Structures are given as C-alpha cells and as structure tokens.
Structure 1
Amino acid sequence: MLTCKHIIKDYPSGDKVVHALRDVSLTFRDSEFVSILGPSGCGKTTFLNILGGLDHYTSGDLVINGKSTKEYSEKDWDTYRNHHVGFVFQSYNLIMHQTVLANVELALTLTGVEKNERKERAIQALEKVGLADQIHKRPAQLSGGQMQRVAIARALINDPDIVLADEPTGALDSETSVQIMELLKEIAKDKLVIMVTHNPTLAQDYSTRIIRLFDGQVQSDSRPVDETEIHPHPDDQRRPSMSFKTALSLSMTNLMTKKARTLLTAFAGSIGIIGIALVLSLSNGMQLYINQVENDTMASYPIEIKDYSTDMSVMLSTMMNMQNTKAKKDGKIHTQPMVKDILDSVSNSKKNNISAFKSYLESSEGKDLKKATKAIEYQYDLPLQVYNENTQSGLVQVSPNGLLQRLGMSDMLSATSQISGNSSGQSVWTKLPDSQKLRDDEFELTGGKWATNENEVVLAVDQNNEISDYALYSLGLMNQDDLVNAYRDFIAGNTDKMPTTKMPTYTKKELLNTTFRLVLNTDLYQKKNSVWIDASQDQEALKSIVSKSKEVKVVGIIRPKKSTANQQFYGGVYYTSAMQNYVATQCEQSAIYQEQKNNPQTNVFTGQAFGAQQSSDNASALAGLSQSEMLAYAQTMSENASATYDSNMTKLGYMDPDKPSAINMYVSSFDKKEKVSDLITKYNEKQKKAGKTDNVITYNDVVGTMMKSVTSVIDLISYVLIGFVSVSLIVSSIMIGIITYISVLERTKEIGILRAMGASKRDISRVFNAETFIIGLTSGIMGILITLILNIPINTVVYSKTHIANIARLPWQGGLILILISLGLTVLAGLIPARIASKKDPVEVLRSE
C-alpha cells in the first residue's frame, strides 16, 4: 500500500523557486491501473519519480506499507527501488551494448541471484512479453515496440509491487501502443501500475483509475481509496548489493564495444610498465650474471687465511686518503707524506695462529663455519721435487719449475706472484682439492680417472682441450733447450723476434702414458765429512737419484668447467694429498731430517750455528770434497746465510698436519661468504673476550669488495632509470583517469538505469572501479608480455656483442609486482571519476537522455 501525505516538491531555479508539486495527498491500492493525466509541466513525471524513490519530496510524507519514509537513508531508497518498484520509460532506457537477456537480468544481479536462476527468470519474463526468441539480440536490432516490451520485462523481473510507466506509448505507433497497454492492463491485475500519459483515450480504455494533475495539484481522482481499503503490508528490507564480479561483467561488456580504444588505452598505460620491466630485466640479468661470476670467483678465489697476513684494506684506505687532502693556497710547494704511511700500513702484518683456528674448525664449535662453506682446504709449505727424465732436453725439473730459472725469469715472476697473490701463473705442479665436491664444481673428468694414490696425478687442459706451450715446456713435454737457446739469441739481438714453433698435438692415450719421478727432498742431500752437500748441483749424481725415485703416472685428464671464473688457465699437473703425505712421511725417516730435528741450534747444511756468521773456510768440511762438491758447499753457505731451523725443516720435507701454512675456505655464494665473514668475526670476538688476542684471525677479501662495489653501481643505475621511467607510469595513470571520466560521461544513461533499478552509489562506483581494474590488469599483463618479447632481440644483440647469454631476464616476482602496481595505480586514478559517477542524480541523468 502506497500513500502520499501532503507532498510538496520545490526546485531551485536561479533566484526563484519552482513549485513542482503542491500538497499532493493520494493513496493507491495494491493492485490497480492508475493513469495520471495533465498538461506538460504539471508535475506528472516529478510525482512518478518521487513515488519510485528516484527523487525526494521537499516536505510531506510518502508512506510505504504503513512505514514513513521521512527517515529513509540512501540504502533504504535503493532497497525500495530494487524490490518494490519497476520502471518503464518512454525512451526505453535500455543498455545498448548489452543483449536483451542481459538487460532483463540486470535488476537480479543487484540482489545476488545466482547466474542460472537469473537466466531462467529473465527468459520467463521475456516469454510473458512475447520476446523469448529475441533474447540474444541487442536493443538496436529490435523495433520500438519490442524494446518497450524488453523494458517491461526488466521492470517485472524482480516481481515488484509497483510498476511505474512514464509515457510508455509516447514513442510508439497506435497498434503497438495498444499491445503495450494490454500488457500493462494484464500486469495490473495483481500489481499496482501507475502510468503517466498524455493520451486520455488510452487512459479511459485501459485504466481503472484516472488522476488529473494541474500546476502541481490534484484536480480530480476518478476512484479515490476509502480508508477501509487500507491494509498495510510488512516492508521487505533486503538490501540490494552488486557483486564485484557483476561489476566486472558490466564493465567488460562495455569495454568490448570499444575494443580499439580499450586496447590503445591499455597500451598507453603499459608504456611505463614496459620501461620499468625492461630496466628490471636488464638489472636482474646483470645481477644474475654478477652472482654467477661472484660464485665462480668464490670457487677460484676462496677466503684465504695465511699464517702471515697484511690487511690490504688499511693500505688501500691510506692511499685513498692521500687524494683527500685540502689544497694549499699560499702558492708554495708542499710535501705530502706518503712513504711512511704506506710502509706503516704494509708493516702492519700479523701472524695468524692457524693451528688454533684449524682446531676450532674441526671442533663442535666450528660446525657452523664448516656448514657455511662447501669445502675447506689446508695448504702446507712442502716443496715437492719432481723431475721428468724422458725428455729431449735430458733431465728436466718440473717442480719447482726449472724452466723459469733457465730463462732467468724466476725472480721477476716471483715478484709478480707476490703482488697478485697468485702463483698459479708460474707453477705447473699444483695440489688437487681434497674435496670431491670442489673438484666437481671446478673441473670435469674427460679421460681416465681421478688421481687417488701418491703415485697418481691428473693432467689439466683448458676448456678448449688445449694446454699452453708454457706448461708443456715446464713439464718437459716440449724441448726446453730449443726455447732457452731461441730466447738467448733473441735477448742477445741475434734475431728480431722469437721463432715460431710448431705446436704439437696429443691423443689422450699418449698423455695418459706420461710419467714423472717424485724425488724425496732428503734424497737430494749426501753427507760429506760433517756437512750435507746438495747433490742436485751434480747432474750425474742427480740422474742417479732420480732414476731410483718413485714413478708417478698421469691417470686422468681434467678441464675447468665453463662456469669457472679463472679464464687464464694454462694447464698443468694436479697431485693429491696422498703424495704430499707420502713425501712428508718418507722424509721424516731420513738421516738428515733426524739430524736436523735433533740439533735445532745447528744448521746441518753448514755445520755451523743458526744466526752465526756463515763462513765457507771450514777445513774439516772441505777436506776430501770434489771440485763440484766444493762449489755446491759454497753455494749452500751463501743460500743459508739467513736460514733458520724452520726453513731447513721445510726444505727437508717437514709437514705437521696440525700446522698448515694457509686455510682456504670455499663458499658457493656471496651470501655464504658474508656469513663466513660474520662467523670469523664472531670467533675473533670470542678469542678477545677470552684474552687470547694471539688467536685473532686477519684475512683479506679484495675480490669480494670489488664485486660488491660493482653490484652497488648497477643497483644505483637501476634505481635512477626506474625513477625516470616511473614518471611515464604516473602520466599514463592520470591519462587512464581522464579516459575513465570520459567513460562516465558516455555511460550516464547506464548510471540512471542502474540507480532506477535500485543500484546504490557504491554499486555505481564499483562499476567504474571494475572498469579501471580491467584496464589496469590488461595494461600490466600487456606490458609484461611486450617486455618478454622485447627481451628476445635484446638478448640476441647483447650475446652477439659480448657472448653473455640471457642478459635481459625479467623475474616472475618482479613481473607480478609490476602487474599489481599497474593495477593499483590505475584503480587509484579511477577513484575520482568513479566517485563523480556515484554522485550523479538519477533523475537528472535520465532526463538528460
């Protein structure tokens, strides 16, 4: 039951007030066909809008089922329109980009009806109006009468109590008008139908009640309601609510009607995403490449703790500070202190207690350190004496490398290795890592087997299965005499350049048959009188010693893996710890070793005390010596002028497993390296706290510092580029906001229709937020897809120039975050237009159409 009590509606118009309705009081039955007649401007449509809750009265009261609406909120009016009122407009007010079925279903979407039920009820409503065969057409494909039937079906879909029809036949021919009136008459049998019309004939023929308005007042009522007919019904307070899924569907349908513009808008929005994604791809690719180099570098350049360590960072800092002095302005030439500061920093050399640290590593306390590393290798100052007797040059010393001494370069290369901290450039006889994991990470076996025993070694070639001529000369596999003679002629100026030598090739079988001789350090010395003479100075004696020594055979061929950072690989021979242990054990049993061990104050090579003035005028020592032995003795005296007990023991093959000369800690990544550094710092703090300052460990990590600096530079560049590109992202977001506002203007009619069916302001806002959501999501996905496509030619070009593969790699996490950023910025940009849409007056927007 609907009752109007003294309804007044005033409109402000400039400085004046227009009185649209003047004290209108009417009551309507639950089911009747009411026609409201009157001239244009008499307030008919205004009255109809107030009855439907689209417009609100200035004063008075509208009572719905016995309940006053004076305190109605916006939500209450939305609920009223959705559940109690169905609108039929003169201009149909159908959404042209929706199908007939979708137009009719629209009111049900606001009440949350399931899709299947929604479709079934919409088809039933269309069957009632005779349009069951037109459900998949769009309104533009229908006649005027058919479109009005669709509007009626939409008005009936929610089974409303009231159907409000505003000039439903105004745009139809007479025959079609009769059909529509018959339809409304049928509906009026169990519902209240209120129709505004200018046609008195149709009103007389079909209406059960005619109300005439003039100048905003009721002039006549053909069948007023008696008080005895008033039977209030309980009001249904179910709230309509449009789901976000429904809003997405509406917006998607609208966007698909403007595919070209939607795609262009999405592309424009994706430009910023593309820029950032490309920067992120390159930054990520570079970072991954650096990480790979870092990890490979960590394998080739481990954290090395030597028995004596100089903190190079102190010296580097000292040198850097020299450039930071302030300029003098007195015009004089000043002296800058340099030598003292550098020497002070270099002399800040500290002896590390390697033994204590090794004990810590092998204890339960050091398990965290061991867990953070992939391998820990111990080095010992045990010079192995290895010879090759099967060469064209005769007997060749392989270890220590005799080639450098013959060329006169041993001092120069020794100095170079001291500066670089790496002696691999001159040594071709190197210890193989004990850790199989480290071996597998650095090398791959290409022939034979891994060396395991003291008489087994492996030969290393580079990644191209090549070995340098330097290594071959040093190992005696190429003629050293030819090289030495050619070099001497070149130095003497007899030739303009070194002659070109034909490089030999080998089969794996030939190399696997290569043998060497391992000479015990103590076997090189023979006792004459009271001193020990170095027999290596006598070639005949040396040959005899070598021939009786242990034979060592090449049992495998290895090469560095492609991921190995050390590209300057010359090749050579790798021996095992078993060989080192064998030499140390055998030397310990020799007479000279025991003599030196039992006489720590006397130098067994000179027969004189350590630290005393060494003199070769020792008659008892020289008696009975041959000329060559006397020369060897004199050279020994010269070499042993500064000898110590420890240096002699090392020369004689002494090796204490608990006292390594260096500890190499290999890690798999920079993160693990940082963890190892932190654990060493923790160890140092613990030693200091215990008062054991001598156990504090000092080490250098120059490579790590450099690599970290490179990473920082790349991060800085990436941040700057992303900052610049982000401007375009913001601009594109603003542009999408503007386009969304244009969409609001274009969809004004749809806003009015949705509000007439009970959609709330929030629902309207949700529709346009859904539109920006779709555009933002499309922009983000499009930007990522375009970036992935662009990465292909970028990677191709970069690889052709640098041979670095996949330098542009977009991480999936970054891609997902960029899509979310695009989505967020686009939705944010659309909030204002969506709010503007929700604020629009439904009466005004319907009238504007």
Structure 2
Amino acid sequence: MLELKQITKVYRVANGKQTVLDDITINFRTNEFVSILGPSGSGKTTLLNIIGGLDQYTSGDLLINGKSTKDFKNRDWDRYRNNTIGFVFQSYNLISHQTALANVELALTLSGVSREERRQRATDALKRVGLEEHINKRPNQMSGGQMQRVAIARALVNNPDILLADEPTGALDSDTSVQIMALLKEIAKERLVIMVTHNPELAETYSNRIVNLLDGRIIADSNPYQEQDEKSSDVQFKKTKMSFATALSLSFRNLLTKKGRTFLTAFAGSIGIIGIALILSLSNGVRRYINKMQEDTLVAYPLTIDRSASGNTFNFSISNDNQQQRNSQKNKKKIGTNNVLKNMVSTQVVDNDLKAFKSYIEKHSKKFKSLTKDIQYSYNLKPKVYSADTSKGVKTINPSNLSDELKDTTANIRAIASNIEVWQELSSDKKMIDSQYRVVSGHLPKKYNEVVLMADDNNKIADYVLYSLGIKNVDELKSKNIKKAKSSSYAYKDLIGRTYKLVINSAVYQKESGVWIDRSNNNDFMKKLINSSENIKIVGIVKPKEGTGSNSETGVGYSQDLTNYISQKINSSQIVKEQRANKKHNIFTGQNFSNGKKEFSVNNLSKEQRSKLASMAPEELAAYVNRYSENAKATYDDNLKKIGVIDTASPEKINFYTSSFKDKKSLKNIIKDYNKEMKRKNQQSKVLKYTDMMGALMSTITTMVNGITFVLIGFVAISLLVSSIMIGIITYISVLERTKEIGILRAMGASKKDVVRIFTAETVIEGAIAGLLGILITLLLNAPISTIVKNTVHIDNIAVLPLWAAIVLIVISILLTVFAGLMPSRVAARKDPVEALRTE
C-alpha cells in the first residue's frame, strides 16, 4: 500500500546543503506496527513527515497503492493527510481553547461530515481510548496520558489507513507509556502504525517490525516487506474544506480565551463607527425635520402653474456675459457693466397654455391622481360679496376695499391692503379638506352659499380679515385712535351665523338706451340690488391641522359649488345671452367691435351717425366719444371676461397638492415629459414655464446638510482606518500566538485556504463586535442628545439612526477588519506546517 523509492531529502542551510534522508527505499504492509529507531538527527521525524505529507521529498518517489505522488499538488497532499493519515505527536498538539470532544471533531469538519455524525464519531473515538467521561474537559484539565489519548482519538476519528506517532510516549511516565503502547498495538491490528521512538525496549515489546536509521539511511529492518508487482491504481481522496461556520466557531472560541483583549480591540474599532453613526443620526434627524417641514408646506405651497409666467428667471447675480466680460477685463484698468436693468427689461412674460395642459391632465388622469391629493383649477371669477347692512352705505366685502378705507394711512399700508385676498376657494375634495383643517366650531360648507372662517393654529384670525369683513371697525387704524385700539376676542357664536350678500357679477349691469352700463358705483342701484340678493352665511370656524404648514393662513373659505353657482347665473343672464347672440356687436357701446380703428374720427361715421351727433348735448356727445374709444380697445372675449364668464376648459391657475416631495418630483418629471412632447411636436407655445421656489429652497437646504454630513464623515473615517490598522496588528499577533494550531490544522489536512478562512473568520467576528458595539453606544448616546436638543430648540428626535445605516456600518466595520486581516491571514497560510508544529 505504501512504498518509498529512493527518497532523498536535502535542506538548504547557510553553508550549503544538508542531506537528511539519503536514498530511502522501504515498503509497508497494510496493517503492521512499525517502530523507527535511531539517534537524534538520523532523519526519523523527517521520514515520518514525508510519509505524512507534511514535508516534501527532494528526489525519489512516494507511492500510494502503486500511484506515484510526484505530480501531487498542495490540495492532493491536503486530502491525503485528511483521508489517509492520522498524526499522534509527542507534545499532544491539542488546541487549548477546545474541549476534548471539539479537538477530536476537528478532523471531521474538514471532511464535510454533518454535525450530528461528527459528534457521534468523536464520542465513539474517545470511548475507544477510555475517555468517555472526559469529553467536555479542556487540555489544561487533563493529565499527560489523557491528552495523548485525546490525540490518538483525534488521529483515529477519520478512520485513516496510516497512523503516524512521533515519540508518543516521550513526555509520559512509564506506566502511562505502557498503556499508550498497548493501545497503539491494538490499533495496528487494523491499520498501518508507524512510530518514531528513542525507546528500543518499548519498540521490541510492542512492535512487529523495527527499522533502524543512521545518518539518513536504513541500516536495519527486522521484518522487511518483500516488494510485489502491483498495478498502479487511481487513488481518489475526498475533497477537504473547512466550512466558514467551523472557522467562525474556532475563532470565536479562541477570542473567548482573551475576552479583555477582544473587548478592547472591538471598542477601539468601534470609535470610528460611533463617530459616523452619530453624524448619520443627526443628519437623519435634521433631514427628517426638513422633510417634515417640506411635507407641512405642501398644503400651503402647492406646485402652481399660472397662465402668466416669466419667460426667464431674473437674477441679480452677474450673468454669463458679464462674467465673461469681467474675466476679459481682469487685467485691464477698466470698469465693466453689470446689466441688471437690461436683464429685467428683457425678461419676458409668457402665457402658459393651460387649456392644452388641462386636456393633457384629463387624458392622463390616472397618472396625475396617483401623485396628487387634489388638483385645483382657479379661474378669474371672484364672488362679489357685500355687507348686508346698507343703512350707512354700500360696503364691499369681497373684493376687499380695505385699501380705500385706509386712505388716511401711509401709501405702503394701502398698497399692502390692496394686495390682500381674504376670500379663497377651498378644495373640492373632501379628503383633502379633512387633511388640511380641523373644525373648531360649526361645520364645513354644505351648500354653495355657506362659508367658513379660517383661523391660524393659535386659534386667531388676522385683524385685516376682521376689518375686511366689517367685524372690526377700520376707524381704529386712524392715527388718533390707534393707541386706544385693543386686541379683541370673539365667542364662536358671535361669528358663526353672520350673513353677507352675494351679488352675481352680471347683475351690476343695467341696459339703457340699447347699451349695458355698469351701475356698481350707483349707491341707490346697489342698495336695491344688495337687498334683493342671496345671503352668504358663515357656518363654521376651522383651523389648520398640526403639520399642514398653513399655520398663518387666515381668511374666508368658500366651496367650489359657489364658483359653479355664480358661473351658471352669469351664463344664464340676459347680458351674456345678448353678447353671445351677436359676437360682432359690443353690448357696452352699442357699436360693432373696431376693425383696427383706434381713434375717433367723424370721417369714419355714416351720415346718420353724423346727424345724430349734431343733435347731441355736449355731455351726451362726450359720453359717445368715450364709448367709441372704449370700443376701439374692446374684443368679444374681453367683454365676456368683464361680465364674469369663464371658460372651464381654460383655467387661470392650476394647483397640484401632493403628499410627499417624492411625488412632487415625479409630478415635475411628468410636466417635463409634457414639455418635451410639445417641443417634439414643434408646439413651442404649449411649453409650460413655472418656478417651484419652495422646492428649490428646500432642495438647497437638503444639499447643504448632505454636504456637511459627507465632510464630517470624511474626517471621522480616518479613525476607522486607524482602528483597521490596529486590528490588522492584533490579527498578526493572533497568528503568532496560534502558530502551533496552524501546524495542527495543516497536519489534519487543512489547506492554506482553510487557514486563511480561520483568520478571516476571526476578523469578521472582531469587525462584527466592533460594529455592533458602535451601534449600541450610538443608540445610547442618541437618547440624551435628542433630549438636550428638544429642551433647547424644541425639535423632537433629532438624533435617529436609520436601520439601513446601522446595517451598512456593521458591514463596513466587518469589511474593513477583513481587509486589515488579509496580510496576517496570508502570513499564517504560508507558514511551514513542520516548523509550525515545532513552535512552543
């Protein structure tokens, strides 16, 4: 079975070469007990190592079942040792942090044996050597004889064909030696046992063959095996591979023997993780706060597209041409020009074709509905509302005439008051309104003529709303009364139930002498009209829900039903019917619309018109000329707009209310796709232009937070690199400490890759512990940090570590430690197993 042919082993030394084995030729039987005797330095152990595949011969050949091993690669020798060879060493070579059972199981882990079978076979092997009751003891809890029995059990557990024993009794007393020799003799009945010993008495007593070596040569063989003609057989060994789980188990148990060092190393490795995790926690908290602010502003600041929009975004910064001019004049003694006003003048105002875009929205309604909570279309139709009490004259409630009532105040205040819009249309979507507002008292509008007062989140209504509605007296704002004015509070019942008068826009026109005249400035006419008009009633008070961002929005809210009602009334009015009946005739002037004639001229009149003019009084003539001039500027569409007729297919403004900025971004992409489609169809007039100022502002803030986060992480990452280097050093120290263990594993058939896997597993554990420790400490620190920030700046949960960040940081910690351990792991794999076994 085993044959050595002219084996020679030469070592290179400083002075040249040293021949340890010289032309060894010997055959062994399948089962016999062979003792190799000889003085120190005769080559006994080297011969044993070559037979066991731990050392390689210089020349000659080692045959297994007639097959040459000259072409064996490293993996073949690893499999040979694991499947065929069992080693028993003089110094036992047990792994100190493993139990007897785990030491014996180790050889089986390389053979891919299942956990249950491995445990059973290891237990049986220990029973065979008489250690059934010591299976859970570690080597330092056993006597020398017991440890040697464990070593023999480990050598036998894989059922090898050859058992190699190197001085198995060298460290034992005589009684124990006899027991071990008897055990080996029993084993030799079923397999080949080759023992190296210095004790000729034990050899002669227990061996059935003694081979004597001297200076690397066989000088005697008591029972030589006659060479027989055997055909070479194809020797196949099972593949050996240590699973990563086994490597983790070995490394974990080793780390447990050095708990203090393991913890300190992990803590040092976690410092960088803690720093990055804290930065990410704060960054995430700030980003969450910004996102909440963004979500809060979605209701108050929807994405709006107006019919009129700037063709260019004006910027007071230096334009590109000025920048180029500045660069060209950098080295010249000249003054350049920054074209601020020129750019303002050149800024074009374009009309967005919202009619075409509304049609596009309706065509792709599913896509838009999936991204929006509501789409609100606004038209140039505001309800005309007046005070119900006309005893002191006509008071306009909407549009507000507050600026006229403040004629005694400064121009700035009047200008501000003129731009205030108190009345606003509510969403037509019930869910949208419910998400925006909480009813404080009363109820939301159920009919077209019901409205609600909108308070802010502090349950207050702006004074300009109260002045506009006539609830507060505007005389309080006069300079002589301003110091006496006090803040007022109102019971809900004092506000709910108040009524106003709704005047249909077309109703203020009266037909006289064949033309329609605006009578809104005629007090007697307006009093009569107002008194006969419908009531508008305040039926509830609402305030914004927390987190909607509408905390400062106050006024009067009316439903879309009111807009529709007014529109229907206008469309059914006589004035509109007359204008639509004759699109060429101007109902306000009694003349046909001008055909480009912009100035009044008698020459442009007929004889009848001239005759009529001649008979007119001066005042009547002046009115006729004014109407003619007015007619020159008028168009059919302008007249309909003047009356209040709206085209529902062509809104003046579209508001998109989204649930998140992600949806808002997707909505912008749809608009962008629409613009691309219009450009592709060469329909430039339908390309939309708009500016999302709030989105741009929030995006800038988010970008700044991200930038600061990355910079801080960059600084803290240095500590991660330092800790990785330290872990690499610790791993190298572990390699030095576990050199003998490496030799033991190689003797059992572990490959270089298996050794690398073991130390890689150790770095994985170190990295995982460091990562988990870093995350745990971060979570503990986040609580007081969040408490401090909440008590100082009133922001909740400012330090929150995202789950993904925790996982990523643990993975990074593991990867860095593995990378740091690559070099030490490869140093371990390259160690000579023979030299490793000699390490103490």
1:769 aligns with 2:763: no
Relative to structure 2, which stretch is displaced further, 328-337 or 60-69?
Answer: 328-337
SS in 2 for 1:195: strand
Question: Could you report, residue by residue, the CA deviation over 1:728-778 in whole angstroms, capped at 9, with x for unpaired residues?
Answer: 323322222222111111110110111111111111111111112222233
SS in 2 for 1:148: helix
Q: Is the 8 A contact 1:312 1:700 kept in 2?
A: no
Question: Matches of residues 9-158 of structure 1 in structure 2 within 5 Å?
Answer: 9-158=9-158
1:737 aligns with 2:736: no
Equivalent residue, structure 1, for 2:183: 183
User: Residue 461 of structure 1 is aligned with which of 413, 434, 455?
Assistant: 455
Question: Could you report, residue by residue, the CA deviation over 1:295-319 in whole angstroms, capped at 9, with x for unpaired residues?
Answer: 4434332333323222351455776
Q: Is the 8 A contact 2:9 2:21 kept in 1?
A: yes
Equivalent residue, structure 2, for 1:202: 202
Shift of 1:229: 11
Partner amino acid for 1:343?
V
> 1:331 and 1:209, CA in 2 relative to 1: closer, same or farther beyond 3 A?
closer
Partner amino acid for 2:80?
Y
Equivalent residue, structure 1, for 2:605: none
Q: Is the 8 A contact 1:3 1:64 kept in 2?
A: yes
TM norm structure 2 = 0.88
Question: Could you report, residue by residue, the CA deviation over 1:378-411 in whole angstroms, capped at 9, with x for unpaired residues?
Answer: 2111232213447999975321123332123797
Relative to structure 2, which stretch is displaced further, 464-473 or 169-178?
Answer: 464-473
> 1:140 and 1:687, CA in 2 relative to 1: closer, same or farther beyond 3 A?
closer
Partner amino acid for 2:738?
R
Question: Matches of residues 14-413 of structure 1 in structure 2 within 5 Å?
Answer: 14-227=14-227, 235-315=235-315, 325-326=325-326, 336-345=338-347, 348-362=348-362, 364=363, 368-369=367-368, 372-389=371-388, 396-408=395-407, 412=412
Q: Is the 8 A contact 1:531 1:607 kept in 2?
A: no
User: Residue 561 of structure 1 is aligned with which of 521, 545, 548?
Assistant: 545
Q: Is the 8 A contact 2:316 2:340 kept in 1?
A: no
User: Residue 512 of structure 1 is aligned with which of 467, 488, 496?
Assistant: 496
User: Residue 566 of structure 2 is aligned with which of 583, 597, 607?
Assistant: 583
Equivalent residue, structure 2, for 1:501: 486
Question: Matches of residues 605-624 of structure 1 in structure 2 within 5 Å?
Answer: none
Shift of 1:97: 0.3
> 1:255 and 1:390, CA in 2 relative to 1: closer, same or farther beyond 3 A?
farther
Relative to structure 2, which stretch is displaced further, 685-694 or 219-228?
Answer: 685-694
Q: CA–CA distance in 1 between the matches of 2:330 and 2:215?
A: 98
Partner amino acid for 1:787?
T
Partner amino acid for 1:266?
A
> 1:113 and 1:489, CA in 2 relative to 1: closer, same or farther beyond 3 A?
same
Question: Could you report, residue by residue, the CA deviation over 1:171-225 in whole angstroms, capped at 9, with x for unpaired residues?
Answer: 1122222222222222222222222222222223222222222222222222222
Shift of 1:53: 1.5
1:794 aligns with 2:785: yes
Shift of 1:321: 6.5
Partner amino acid for 2:399?
P
> 1:691 and 1:828, CA in 2 relative to 1: closer, same or farther beyond 3 A?
closer
SS in 2 for 1:488: coil
Equivalent residue, structure 2, for 1:628: none
Shift of 1:446: 4.1
Question: Matches of residues 421-436 of structure 1 in structure 2 within 5 Å?
Answer: 426-436=420-430
> 1:529 and 1:411, CA in 2 relative to 1: closer, same or farther beyond 3 A?
farther
SS in 2 for 1:210: strand
Equivalent residue, structure 2, for 1:627: none
Partner amino acid for 2:559?
T
Question: Could you report, residue by residue, the CA deviation over 1:576-599 in whole angstroms, capped at 9, with x for unpaired residues?
Answer: 122122223334455565677769
Q: Is the 8 A contact 1:529 1:621 kept in 2?
A: no
> 1:287 and 1:50, CA in 2 relative to 1: closer, same or farther beyond 3 A?
same
Q: Is the 8 A contact 2:322 2:337 kept in 1?
A: no
Q: Is the 8 A contact 1:78 1:755 kept in 2?
A: yes
Partner amino acid for 2:501?
R
Question: Matches of residues 438-837 of structure 1 in structure 2 within 5 Å?
Answer: 438-481=432-475, 483-484=476-477, 487-489=478-480, 498-507=483-492, 509-524=493-508, 537=521, 542-569=526-553, 571-590=554-573, 604=588, 644=634, 649-688=640-679, 690=681, 692-837=683-828
Shift of 1:105: 0.9
Partner amino acid for 1:499?
K
Q: Is the 8 A contact 1:7 1:57 kept in 2?
A: yes
SS in 2 for 1:313: coil
SS in 2 for 1:440: helix
> 1:155 and 1:334, CA in 2 relative to 1: closer, same or farther beyond 3 A?
closer
SS in 1 for 2:479: helix
> 1:394 and 1:603, CA in 2 relative to 1: closer, same or farther beyond 3 A?
closer
> 1:170 and 1:343, CA in 2 relative to 1: closer, same or farther beyond 3 A?
same
Partner amino acid for 1:130?
G
Q: CA–CA distance in 1 between the matches of 2:218 and 2:392?
A: 131
Q: Is the 8 A contact 1:393 1:480 kept in 2?
A: no
SS in 2 for 1:700: coil
Relative to structure 2, which stretch is displaced further, 4-13 or 497-506?
Answer: 497-506
Equivalent residue, structure 2, for 1:845: 836
Q: CA–CA distance in 2 between the matches of 1:782 and 1:393?
A: 79
Q: CA–CA distance in 2 between the matches of 1:441 and 1:111?
A: 66
SS in 2 for 1:489: coil
Partner amino acid for 2:406?
L
Q: Is the 8 A contact 1:530 1:621 kept in 2?
A: no
Partner amino acid for 1:713?
M
* Structure 2 unmatched ranges of 5 or more: 602-614
> 1:25 and 1:719, CA in 2 relative to 1: closer, same or farther beyond 3 A?
same
Q: Is the 8 A contact 2:110 2:750 kept in 1?
A: yes
Shift of 1:417: 9.3
Q: Is the 8 A contact 2:393 2:523 kept in 1?
A: no
Q: Is the 8 A contact 1:22 1:217 kept in 2?
A: yes
> 1:643 and 1:595, CA in 2 relative to 1: closer, same or farther beyond 3 A?
farther
Q: CA–CA distance in 1 between the matches of 2:276 and 2:345?
A: 49
> 1:580 and 1:845, CA in 2 relative to 1: closer, same or farther beyond 3 A?
same
Partner amino acid for 2:273?
I
Shift of 1:254: 0.9
Q: CA–CA distance in 1 between the matches of 2:232 and 2:539?
A: 106
Shift of 1:550: 1.0
Shift of 1:843: 0.6
* Structure 1 unmatched ranges of 5 or more: 491-496, 624-632
Q: Is the 8 A contact 2:740 2:837 kept in 1?
A: yes
Number of residue equivalences: 816
Q: CA–CA distance in 1 between the matches of 2:228 and 2:323?
A: 106
> 1:499 and 1:743, CA in 2 relative to 1: closer, same or farther beyond 3 A?
farther
Q: CA–CA distance in 2 between the matches of 1:528 and 1:132?
A: 123
Q: CA–CA distance in 1 between the matches of 2:210 and 2:673?
A: 97
SS in 1 for 2:807: helix
Question: Could you report, residue by residue, the CA deviation over 1:43-63 in whole angstroms, capped at 9, with x for unpaired residues?
Answer: 221122122211122222222
SS in 1 for 2:255: helix
Partner amino acid for 2:712?
L
Q: CA–CA distance in 2 between the matches of 1:21 and 1:335?
A: 96
> 1:441 and 1:316, CA in 2 relative to 1: closer, same or farther beyond 3 A?
farther
> 1:544 and 1:469, CA in 2 relative to 1: closer, same or farther beyond 3 A?
same
> 1:185 and 1:352, CA in 2 relative to 1: closer, same or farther beyond 3 A?
closer
Shift of 1:432: 0.9
Q: CA–CA distance in 1 between the matches of 2:352 and 2:377?
A: 14
Q: CA–CA distance in 2 between the matches of 1:703 and 1:321?
A: 28
Relative to structure 2, which stretch is displaced further, 461-470 or 764-773?
Answer: 461-470
> 1:662 and 1:166, CA in 2 relative to 1: closer, same or farther beyond 3 A?
same
> 1:384 and 1:605, CA in 2 relative to 1: closer, same or farther beyond 3 A?
farther
Shift of 1:688: 4.8
